[in-house]
Amino acid sequence: MKHHVTTTVNGDEVEYLCDTEQTLLDCLRDELGLTGAKEGCGSGDCGACSVMLDGRLVCSCLVLGVEANGKKVDTIEGMAKGEKLHPLQRKFLEHAALQCGICTPGVLVAAKALLEKNPNPTETEVRYWLAGNLCRCTGYDKIIRAVMDTAAEMRGA
Amino acid sequence: MQERVKSPKFDVVGTRPVRPDGADKVTGRAKYGADHAVAGQLVGKVLRSPHAHARIKSIDTSAAAALSGVKAIVTRDDFAEQSSEFVPAGEMLVNYRDVLRNVMARRKHCSRGIRWLRLPPRRRQSLARR
């Protein structure tokens, strides 16, 4: 039996049909075609599937599709406003804080959540906050620098 | 007198270009293998061993075959001619045949049906090769 789910994704009201066991990640990717969130591990270790659910950072592979009913989901696809990149996205490019890019959507969603909660984080706070987002390319330093730089710019702006 | 070596001018070396695929990657638009979907596409699912070291006692594919939309199931028995490099057939394998059971289906499925005999973990590669 399929469940009919009505939810808001990146500000748009959307509907989809899903099975009980389908994760929110599967629903975003397979039902809605939003493939920005990636499945790295499927067990909440890697953070590649990070999305915001009612303003809370979650691993969408650990949330069921039906749980999004009546809630607000924000994904990487909603981060840039048209062609205008979010400061985090711009700084990630400037600092070369990505290589293969599989972890990048999750890292960006998580970093945005951090800066909304704490606009002036210490390096340690950034490292702890992003500890749930694994990256096998960059060695993290460039990611941390990009987030710190973005925070400084957004505070100044 | 020795002429001073001119410092060469490079177009790319020594510059800090923004990677050409960067914008697509930070916006989630970049398409990776798993991001592609075509009409009528089959989805493959690999069931791997949940144990560090175990022997496969039996594989029952009937439950998986009974699921709607399942087109094919591939087990180690489909590769009987493939030699097993590290450990004998039927144990947890680390070569081509460690694909225990592939289910090809219209939708993603995951189900059980393999019986395992759990063995103590093998810590060293040299032991595993015997």
- From chain A, the residues in CB contact with B26 under 8 A are 80, 85, 89, 92-93, 98, 101, 104-105, 108
pLDDT of residue B90: 56
At A40-72, the pLDDT tens digits run: 988 899 999 999 999 999 999 999 999 999 999
A137 contacts chain B (CB < 8 A): no
By mean pLDDT, which of A10-24, A100-114, B65-79, B114-128 is the weakest?
A: B114-128
Say whether A102 and B35 touch across the interface (CB within 8 A): no
The amino acid that residue B82 corresponds to is Q
- Tokens in use for A27? 């629903």
Best interface-test mutation with A: which of B18, B27, B31 has the largest number of A CBs within 10 A?
B27
- From chain B, the residues in CB contact with A30 under 8 A are 37, 108
Check whether B46 has a pLDDT greater than 60.
yes
pLDDT of residue B118: 66
pLDDT of residue B13: 87
State the pLDDT confidence band at B91, using cuts at 50, 70 and 90: low
Q: How many CB pairs under 8 A join A and B?
A: 57
Quote the percentage of chain A above a pLDDT of 70.
Answer: 99
Answer with the residue of higher pLDDT: B11 or B45.
B11
Say whether A105 and B108 touch across the interface (CB within 8 A): no
Question: Which DSSP symbol is given to B41?
Answer: -
DSSP labels for B80-92? TTS--SSS-TTB-
In terms of CA atoms, which chain B residue is nearest residue A35?
A: B35
Average pLDDT rounded to a whole number, residues B91-117: 52
Strands (E), B1-130: 43-47, 54-59, 70-75, 101-105, 114-118
Best interface-test mutation with B: which of A86, A104, A147 has the largest number of B CBs within 10 A?
A104
d(CA A107, CA B28): 11
pLDDT of residue A35: 97
Check whether B97 has a pLDDT greater than 70.
no
* Least Cα separation, residue B58 to chain A (angstroms): 26
Check whether B6 has a pLDDT greater than 90.
no
Average pLDDT rounded to a whole number, residues A83-97: 96
* Least Cα separation, residue B34 to chain A (angstroms): 9
Indicate the pTM of the whole model: 0.80
d(CA A111, CA B24): 18
d(CA A69, CA A4): 9
A35 contacts chain B (CB < 8 A): yes
Distance set, CA A52 to CA A46, A142, B4, B50 (Å): 16, 24, 59, 31
Answer with the residue of higher pLDDT: B92 or A121.
A121
Residue B37 has phi, psi (to 5 degrees) of -140, 130
State the pLDDT confidence band at A144, using cuts at 50, 70 and 90: very high
